[in-house]
Amino acid sequence: MYAFEIDRPTTLADAVKALGTEEAQALGGGQTLIPALKARLAAPARLVCLSGVAEIKGICTADDGALCIGGGTSHADVAAGAGAYPALAGLAANIGDPAVRNRGTLGGSLANNDPSACYPAAVLASGATVVTTNRQIAADDFFDGMFATALEEGEIITEVRFPVPEKASYQKFDQPASRFALVGVFVAKYPDGVRVAVTGASEDGVFRWSEAEAALSSDFSAGAVEGLSLSGDGMISDLHGSGEYRAHLVGVMTRRAVAAAG
């Protein structure tokens, strides 16, 4: 690990100011950044720890019924407090292990945008809005490929607003050692249609499966996607499974998600 300075702001304004200094990097729950620092894969001159900023923590329901979750809210708190959106609470409850769930945060996971992370699928399938210190970003505009997002330097995720669907389910075929998704599918049914988001499968990161969305919007049943399939081209291929295997799993997990959502 390389030497670095650390700031521990207690207000959002101070956090933004600290991130404006040269070579500063935000530290959320540290579940990705700390291992990277230990392996000397990252070398920021200054870390800005966001764990003391109370303004970006907590869960509430907006006037329009959306579930609003602070970017600094831990996975464990999402699991315990997102009862208005059971599929989201269940997703959070099955991230990593207790240590990860108690330290990792919603905003940190989204900002990192690991191609096998669970939250990106929930945000994209829900058509959520990512609120930052500068603006509001629609889910469809937020993710920009593997480990890349629309966030600019110094921009902090303060809140994510999730429209609560009529029915939803997240089904994950996990890699047992890491508990990351080998393939995870989040299905959410809204009055104006169905959204299906897939994580863990594509080399481009989380994506929407439009073919399945069209079929399920007409007939919300597992049978509606029975004949649909994806190509293995562009899918992640590694020691855990080939691209073709992951493409097959997308269909399997989508059918399971629809069945579970009822």
pLDDT tens profile 70-124: 999 999 999 999 999 999 999 999 999 999 999 999 999 999 999 999 999 999 9
Per-residue pLDDT tens digits for 171-199: 999 988 888 999 999 999 999 999 999 99
In order of their start, the domains of the chain are 5-162 (3.30.465.10), 167-261 (3.30.390.50)
Alpha carbon separation from 173 to 99, 118, 128, 242 (Å, rounded) = 21, 11, 23, 14
Q: Which two tokens stand for residue 227?
A: 């004949």
Are the CB atoms for 156 and 19 separated by under 8 Å?
A: yes
Q: What is the pLDDT of residues 123-172, one digit of tens each?
A: 999 999 999 999 999 999 999 999 999 999 999 999 999 999 999 999 99
Q: Can you tell me which residue has the tokens 């299906």? A: 196
d(CA 197, CA 208): 4
Give the contacts of 169 (CB within 8 A, at least 6 positions apart): 87, 186, 187, 256, 257, 258, 260, 261
Tally DSSP H helices, then E strands, for the chain. 10, 12
* pTM, full prediction: 0.95
Token pair of 107 as six digits:
């905003």
CA distances from 22 to 14, 17, 25, 46 (A): 15, 11, 9, 8
pLDDT over 80 at 1, yes or no: no
